[in-house]
Structure 1
Amino acid sequence: MAITIACIGSGNMGSALMKGAVKIIGGENISFTDPNQEKAQALADEIGARVFPSNYDAVKDAEFVFLAVKPQVLGTVLEEIAPALQMRIEEKKPAILVSMAAGWTIRKIQILLDVGSTAKLMGPDWAEANPALTKPVPVVRIMPNTPALISQGVIAMAASPQVPEETLAELERLLSSTGIVDRIDESYMDAVTGLSGSGPAFVYLFIEALADGGVQAGLPRDKALRYAAQTVLGAAAMVKETGKHPGELKDMVTSPAGTTIAGVAALENGRFRGTVINAVEAAYKRSKQLG
């Protein structure tokens, strides 16, 4: 029997993961919902998928239900699909919920689905602490990043005990079409969000600044940007492929009294490393707040 996926949301992340999944299961086994029906239909047409009129309809039969929505609206979506998910548990055909919402723990998602409006009325702190789970929905929490759009992403993954190992391996195979998949303890997920989830934006800023430096030194803009992007790509590949510490690789480039050490000194004077650390920490803290 073919794997089926319902993807709630057709934004960058949802579309990236589904464009990877279509290579494995085909578009006929993928469906979308989105408040913007035109956007969802355009994506569905591109990969040969279909569009459902409501979130409830989309999750009634899918094996995997991807929640590709922003953390701020996840609660509303869970409220809409809870009856369908609970019905499937009663029928002993539970759907596997795959959430990529920053900050939302597996526990919180399960309780909001289990007790619905009660948890909403009592508030998030109560929902997180309440021990009563009568019919827990199987949930997998993932944190992908935007390079998944070109199959170069990093996807961290943690699952609830209700997800069978063979099903988790199946999901891992689907996600691997968009990049590296790494299983982690859920307690690390906010840190992953701050590092690899938000990290591409920090790298883009660095590439832009590197290219600006080249322009200031006299390079044409197109060449400066091309050289900056390839330099970052090549440096990252060196870290991955050699297995050497970045500090060791840096030392290989910095000859005594040379050009590189002069540039490194300028970065250190500007607190480059401390600023990057602070950026990851700020994103990590924001992820926790969103939950």
Structure 2
Amino acid sequence: MNTKNIACIGSGNMGRALMKGAANIIPAGNIGFSDADTAKAEVLAKELGAKVYSSNYDAVKEADFVFLAVKPQVLGTVLEEIAPALRMRVESKSPAILVSMAAGWTIKKIQILLDVGSVAKLIGPDWSEVNPTLTKPVPVVRIMPNTPALISQGVIAMSASSEVPEETLAMLEKILSAAGIVDRLDENYMDAVTGLSGSGPAFVYLFIEALADGGVQAGLPRDKALRYATQTVLGAAAMVKETGKHPGELKDMVTSPGGTTIAGVAALENGAFRGTVINAVDAAYNRSKKLG
């Protein structure tokens, strides 16, 4: 793989996770950070052996891949700032590949904003009617990673605009794979991915905490209850992944007639456990759409 330069605008948890993985694929010196909080970017750059760009403009000017690791609420402002540099790269026939992980922001919306140059023209329910002829659109890849990418166990969904060459997309996929599994899918599913794997780790953490609390209530010491709960969730997930069996089938393997497990399952169902989890994913999905 030809060595590429990566710029990451934003140095929060997700930027750190993905760049930490990228440093296993390309030299850390080819990775740079740009952040409104320069001190924060410098700390992360030192940790990885990366560099710090003096501005977002310089980051876009030098990088082959520009990761946008910023909150959806500030993405518009960042895009307005870097739009001239991105368009200049397109005009010079050496476009930077923009990689966005902002929930709700579609590839189309990003490309139109970069073309019209002002987020004000896209505000409101009718932004989709702003549809100029994009003769030279900026190539954009939209991803949705999750926080287990920090330990190389993430799920990273990926969609790309037609302007991204397959060879380049394959290279990006290899870089991202250092942080977890990478799965290409139609962009129409990205908000659903956000609700499931993007927000899902928080739901699992709540379950682990509750499972451990149940152990404490039953008399286990806190440290042992948390250890057992964590390994139980890890092992159960591995069973689903490794056996390929449906979770319901694996559940039935543990659930003996008149036994302890069915008593616990009945208690979960009385509390609308499955319906509540479904509603949590749906709520996160709907919030993702609104953020766009």
Structure 2 match to 1:128: 128
Question: Which one-letter code corresponds to 1:130 in the other structure?
Answer: V
| Structure-2 residue corresponding to 1:187 | 188
Instruction: Say whether the 8 Å CA contact 1:111–1:127 is kept in structure 2.
Output: no
Q: Bigger CA drift: 177-186 or 132-141?
A: 132-141
Q: Is the 8 A contact 2:97 2:139 kept in 1?
A: yes
Give, in angstroms, the shift of residue 129 of structure 1.
2.9
Structure 2 CA distance for aligned equivalents of residues 254 and 240 of structure 1: 20
Once residues 279 and 38 of structure 1 are traced to their aligned partners in structure 2, the CA distance between those partners, rounded to angstroms, is: 36
Structure 1 residues 178-257: aligned runs within 5 Å: 178-257=179-258
Of 121-130 and 275-284, the range deviating more from structure 2: 121-130
Separation in 1, partners of 2:3, 2:266: 57
Using the alignment, how far apart are the partners of 2:287 and 2:211 within structure 1? Answer: 27
Q: Cα offset for 1:122? A: 5.2
Percentage of matched positions with identical amino acids = 79
Cross-structure match for 1:43: 44
| Deviation per residue, 1:160-218 (Å, 9 max, x gap) | 00000000000000000010000000000000000000000000000000000000000
> How many correspondences in the alignment?
290
Aligned CA distance change for structure 1 residues 65 and 285 (closer, same or farther; 3 Å): same
Answer yes or no: is the 8 Å Cα contact 1:156–1:192 preserved in 2.
yes
Gaps of 5+ in 1: none
Q: Which residue of the partner structure matches residue 57 of structure 2?
A: 56
The Cα shift of 1:220 comes to: 0.3
8 Å CA contact retained: 1:112, 1:127 = no
How much does 1:262 deviate?
Answer: 0.2
TM-score, normalised to structure 1, is 0.98
Shift of 1:36: 1.1
Give 1:103's aligned amino acid: G
Q: Structure 1 residue runs of 4+, over 3 Å off?
A: 124-127
Q: Write the distance in 2 (CA, Å) between the matches of 1:29 and 1:14.
A: 15
**What TM-score does the superposition give when structure 2 sets the normalisation length?**
0.97
Q: Is the 8 A contact 1:16 1:149 kept in 2?
A: yes
CA distance in 2, matches of 1:138, 1:121: 21
Equivalent-residue separation in structure 2 for 1:221 and 1:187 (angstroms): 43
1:52 Cα deviation (Å)?
A: 1.2
Q: Distance in 1 between matches of 2:258 and 2:139?
A: 59
Alignment match, 2:114: 113
Q: Is the 8 A contact 1:114 1:134 kept in 2?
A: no
Identify the residue that residue 143 of structure 1 maps to in structure 2.
144
Secondary structure in 2 matching 1:157: strand
Query: Aligned with 1:42: secondary structure?
Result: helix
Asked whether 1:15 is paired with 2:16, we answer yes
Match of residue 281 from structure 1: 282
Matching residue's letter, 1:115: V
- Residue 60 of structure 1 aligns with an amino acid whose one-letter code is K
Q: Which amino acid aligns with 2:131?
A: P
- 2:283 alignment partner, SS class: helix
DSSP 3-state at the match of 2:225: helix
Q: Given the superposition, is the C-alpha separation of residues 99 and 193 from structure 1 closer, same or farther in structure 2, using an over 3 Å criterion?
A: same
Give, in whole Å, the separation in 2 of the partners of 1:204 and 1:266. 20
Distance 1:238 1:70 in 2: 35
CA contact (8 A) 1:198 1:283 kept: yes
SS at 1:193 equivalent = helix
Q: Show the counterpart of 1:270.
A: 271
Residue-by-residue CA offset, 1:18-67 (whole Å, 9 max, x unaligned): 00000111111001011111110011011111111211111102000000
> Does the C-alpha gap of structure 1 residues 95 and 11 become closer, same or farther in structure 2, counting only changes over 3 Å?
same
Structure 1 contact 112–120 (Cα < 8 Å) conserved: no
Query: Partner residue of 1:73?
Result: 74
Write the letter of the residue equivalent to 2:196: L
> Partner amino acid for 1:225?
L
How far does residue 109 in structure 1 lie from its aligned partner after superposition?
A: 0.2
Question: Aligned with 1:158: secondary structure?
Answer: strand
Deviations 1:85-115 (Å, cap 9, x if unpaired)? 0000110000000000000000000000011
Structure 2 counterpart of 1:82: 83
Q: Per-residue deviation at 1:131?
A: 2.9
